[in-house]
């Protein structure tokens, strides 16, 4: 994950540490390299600009350049600013005071919604909850089957009504959960290849019908800035409570992880780290930054 970015930044910092005392020009030179590394990692242009400006402003302060280990101080500032960039609360599902807690997963086709609906159910089940998985992706027949197979594998219930309207399925699932002692309802909605009004309309209708406590967007980290644009559009239309950034186990460059929060204001709550049912982690900006900076 983030290997290219990580290698480049570490090279820059190694050179900086080799210099001993730093001049303003040394910081500027290092920040030029940081800028290129971030842009090559597909981080949003404006995010990069603001990030570099902030690090520069803090680093060129007299205290830093006059300190005993100026390079270390600069690296520390980069680390802190990177955490701020990805920052915010992490990895928690807001549990409703009156059950069931309703979680609605949305996103484009192939992002990993169905997989992460099941992963979330598994995680919450391990925390002592009784989740119900709900199959609202009625357009892709395989999606219902996929959810049922995952439910069976995890020994967790799956609610489906075939090709019924997604709004009706979602409403009925809450009743079902209430009468069967399930305290978390996880709704797997349909995706599309691209955002369109039909998709948004359907999601809005489900939202209105079941008033989810959490609307989580599932986006594929491998898609870089597209993931950021998708997050921005969904947030504007539906109001997201958080993002699940998937496929971080793959060879992703870092653009999505480093830009989503800064561009959209949405917190990345969870990271998908593989296809297995336990491959989900709370997203920790501090650990992410440490991974990138080595
Ligand atoms: P959906 O169309 O959004 O419901 O997407 P799916 O849940 O069907 O996932 C699409 C593909 O991505 C499947 O082959 C999943 O196994 C795979 N996938 C989902 N999440 C991850 C992840 O975090 N890492 C990896 N490597 N693959 C994932």
pLDDT interval class at 146 (50, 70, 90): very high
Q: What is the pLDDT of residues 129-138, one digit of tens each?
A: 999 999 999 9
Q: Is the pLDDT of residue 13 over 90?
A: yes
> Which has more pLDDT, 175 or 61?
175
Q: Is the pLDDT of residue 89 over 70?
A: no
pLDDT of residue 238: 95
Length of the chain: 294
Q: Is the pLDDT of residue 91 over 70?
A: yes
How many angstroms separate the alpha carbon of residue 33 from the centre of ligand 1? 34
Who's near 292: CB < 8 A, 6+ residues apart? Answer: 2, 5, 6, 9, 82, 254
State both tokens at 23: 């001049």
110 among the known binding-site residues?
yes
What is the 8-class DSSP label of residue 253? -
Atom of ligand 1 lying closest to residue 119 CA:
20
201 among the known binding-site residues?
no
Q: Whose alpha carbon is nearest atom 5 of ligand 1?
A: 112
Q: What is the pLDDT of residues 257-273, one digit of tens each?
A: 999 999 999 999 999 99
Q: What is the mean pLDDT of residues 68-87?
A: 93
Instruction: Report the sign of the C-alpha dihedral through residues 59, 65, 68, 71, in that order.
Output: positive
Cβ pair 31, 56 in contact under 8 A: yes
pLDDT of residue 285: 94
- How far, in Å, are 107, 133, 161, 172, 260 from residue 178 at the CA level? 27, 13, 17, 10, 35
**CA distance linking residue 49 with residue 46, whole number of Å:** 5
Q: Is the pLDDT of residue 111 over 90?
A: yes
Q: What is the mean pLDDT of residues 201-216?
A: 97
Tokens 């989503």 belong to 260
Q: What is the mean pLDDT of residues 168-195?
A: 96
**CA distance linking residue 12 with residue 25, whole number of Å:** 14
**CA distance linking residue 147 with residue 158, whole number of Å:** 7
Atom of ligand 1 lying closest to residue 271 CA:
23
For the chain, list the strands marked E by DSSP: 101-106, 131-136, 158-159, 184-189, 214-220, 242-246, 268-272, 280-282
Query: How many CB atoms lie under 10 A from the CB of residue 185?
Result: 26
How many angstroms separate the alpha carbon of residue 206 from the centre of ligand 1? 23
How many angstroms separate the alpha carbon of residue 14 from the centre of ligand 1? 37
pLDDT of residue 289: 94
Compute the mean pLDDT over every residue in the chain, rounded to the nearest whole number: 94
Cβ pair 279, 249 in contact under 8 A: yes
Could you report the predicted ipTM of this complex, rounded to two decimals? 0.99
How many angstroms separate the alpha carbon of residue 22 from the centre of ligand 1? 47
205 among the known binding-site residues?
no
Q: What is the pLDDT of residues 50-67, one digit of tens each?
A: 999 999 999 988 788 888
Query: How many CB atoms lie under 10 A from the CB of residue 91?
Result: 16
């Amino acid at each position: 994950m983030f290997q290219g970015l990580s290698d480049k930044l570490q090279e820059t910092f190694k050179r900086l540490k080799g210099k001993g005392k730093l001049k303003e020009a040394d910081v500027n030179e290092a920040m030029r390299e940081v800028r290129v590394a971030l842009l090559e990692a597909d981080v949003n242009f404006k995010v990069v600009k603001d990030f570099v400006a902030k690090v520069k402003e803090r680093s060129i302060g007299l205290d830093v350049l006059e300190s005993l280990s100026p390079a270390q101080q600069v690296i520390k500032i980069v680390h802190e600013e990177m955490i701020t960039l990805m920052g915010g609360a992490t990895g928690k599902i807001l549990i409703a005071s009156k059950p069931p807690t309703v979680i609605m997963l949305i996103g484009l086709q192939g992002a990993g919604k169905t997989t992460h609906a099941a992963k979330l159910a598994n995680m919450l089940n391990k925390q002592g909850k009784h989740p119900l998985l709900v199959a609202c992706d009625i357009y892709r027949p395989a999606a219902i089957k996929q959810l049922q197979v995952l439910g069976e594998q995890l020994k967790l219930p799956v609610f489906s009504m075939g090709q019924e309207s997604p709004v009706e399925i979602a409403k009925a699932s809450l009743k079902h959960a209430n009468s069967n002692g399930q305290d978390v309802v996880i709704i797997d909605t349909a995706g599309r290849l691209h955002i369109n009004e039909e998709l948004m309309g359907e999601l809005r209708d489900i939202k209105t019908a079941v008033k989810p406590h959490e609307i989580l967007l599932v986006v594929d980290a491998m898609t870089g800035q597209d993931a950021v644009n998708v997050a921005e559009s969904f947030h504007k239309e539906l109001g997201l409570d958080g993002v699940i950034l998937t496929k971080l186990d793959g060879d992703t460059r870092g653009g999505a992880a480093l830009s989503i929060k800064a561009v959209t204001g949405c917190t990345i709550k969870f990271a998908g780290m593989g296809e297995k049912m336990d491959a989900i982690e709370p997203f920790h900006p501090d650990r992410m930054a440490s991974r990138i900076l080595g």
